[in-house]
Chains A and B, each alone.
Chain A
Amino acid sequence: MNHMAGSLEQYNTVVWHWPIAVYLFLAGLSAGAIISAIIIKWMKGNDVSPWDGIIKAGAILAPITIGAGLFLLIFDLTRPLHFWKLLIHYNFGSVMTLGVLALFAYFPVVILFFLGVFKKELIENGPFKFLAPFADMALTYAKAIESVTLILAVGVGAYTGFLLSAMNSYPLLNTPILPALFLASGVSAGISANLVVGLLFFKNSTGESNVSYMHGLDVKVIFAELFFLFILFVGMMYQGGSSAHVASAALSSGGLSTLLWVGVIGLGLMLPIGLNFALPHGVKHSHGFVIFNALIVLIGVLALRYYILYAGQTFVG
């Protein structure tokens, strides 16, 4: 290629960088954390105070992670101070607008959930007495609010997938399975984060049966994730043409494919499954192992988001 035309850089670069990958991870984690907290809360015996440690963990993690993610997203803009325009201009055909609207509703309901769960610490024995009406509302209409929260959380977990799959010139991103893959890995990350926070900070209130239920659910979700990844690449191979080329390049070339095989599949998916089958019952249910397992799952999910974002923009056929 003759470079008399000038720089080719503009035509070959990754446009969305690592902060977006971290946001995709945090949004999925937040949705997964609140989904798994609500699942535990709806189980027999967990629907009254004192709350289980996993419910507390979810109540804290969901608003903090989504808040941190949005903060990151705003500062990744070229003109961060213009972000408010996103709140007054809407394009209902844009996944980004739909995501903004979902987050608009999602953020308040996860904060309500947080206030309900921590009513005693924050309001009865704490300085936030003026928030009492909100906490009471969260507790009085718990089932209704939590149902809405669950639906919104699925929306937040899946929209990040649609955000990328909406672009039809990137074969690795433009696949129907991506939102399902992101939702599943987000739920897995949320469960893992809840287990880590629950076991480290709310050890006394975290019920043993809930820990093993969550841990067991995580392993099942990991199987679903593996299957979705399999569907993604096999589906692209069967499409032929540039999709097949992109799939084989994404599976076999450069540091990104190493990240996929070692980070996403090896560390994040196969190692947890392998350890769960290989280790004796006693070790498997020790808190140390559950926390270790949760941490490698979290690293795997972050690696998946990073891989999909970068490989999607790099391998374009």
Chain B
Amino acid sequence: MQKQYRLLYDENLCIGCQACSIACRVENSVPDEVYRVQVHMQTMGIFPNLGMHYERLSCVMCENPPCVSVCPTNASFQSKDGLVHIDEKSCISCKYCILACPYHARFINPLKNVVEKCTFCYETRVSKELSPACVSICPTDALTFGDMRQSNSLVYQKSHKEVLLFPKAHLGTKPKVAFIPNRKGAKS
């Protein structure tokens, strides 16, 4: 059955604890010096009116993925569920996809010498009806994952209630990761 996955990242609920990053590392055996997901924090404003700004950096699973269109060997491909994956066997590691990705989500795994990125934990979790490791560990429920085709799903309901921001939407990549932007705190 075809899915329409979406992952919501609520900047208002994130506390920058990095549990998602650690859960990802454990789940996917990501080597120390590289990251499939990072949450960047920035203190904004002028004392005493300070606020924190959080930003999630990871693969956003584009509907129109630049990494797939540039890949010369089809090693970067889109599954029928619309998720972008990498076939390690046909990857020649030319790094064209790393360069083409506007989200800087891809890297060379220094242990395996192949290109890697976030997979939404498809193999180990999502294909078994579990949510990705980062979503399941998040202590504040800042992350919501699900199928947009199911109108009773939390991700569907939240998507229709909140204002969503799709990262670098002007590039026409149509990300499946959406941000619920910060409503409070100091403005830049």
Contact = CB atoms under 8 A, between A and B. Distances in A.
Contacts of A2: 16, 40-43
A6 interface: yes
Interface string A1-34: 1101111101110011000000000000000000
B34 interface: yes
A204 interface: no
Contacts of A5: 16, 18, 21, 38-41
A77 B39 CA distance: 30
A79 B113 contact: yes
A86 B72 contact: yes
Interface string B22-61: 0000000000011100111111000000000000010000
Given A15-B95, A79-B113, A91-B73, A169 B171 contact: yes
B99 A85 contact: no
Query: Interface SS of chain A: helix, strand, loop or mixed?
Result: loop
Interface in A106-147: none
A97 interface: yes
B99 A313 contact: yes
Contacts of A167: 66, 70, 99-100
Contacts, number: 107
Interface residues of B, number: 40
B114 interface: yes
B70 A94 contact: yes
Interface string A56-97: 000000000000000000000111001101100111011111
29 contacts: A1-B40, A2-B42, A4-B41, A5-B41, A6-B21, A6-B35, A6-B38, A7-B33, A10-B35, A10-B104, A11-B104, A15-B95, A15-B98, A16-B95, A78-B93, A79-B91, A79-B113, A82-B91, A83-B92, A85-B92, A86-B92, A89-B90, A90-B72, A90-B73, A91-B71, A94-B71, A96-B94, A169-B66, A169-B171
Interface of A: 1-2, 4-8, 10-12, 15-16, 77-79, 82-83, 85-86, 89-91, 93-97, 100, 166-169, 313
Given A10-B107, A85-B90, A90-B74, 10 more contacts: A4-B18, A4-B41, A5-B41, A15-B99, A79-B93, A93-B69, A96-B70, A97-B72, A100-B72, A169-B101
Interface of B: 16, 18, 21, 33-35, 38-43, 57, 66, 69-75, 90-96, 98-102, 104, 107-108, 113-114, 168, 171
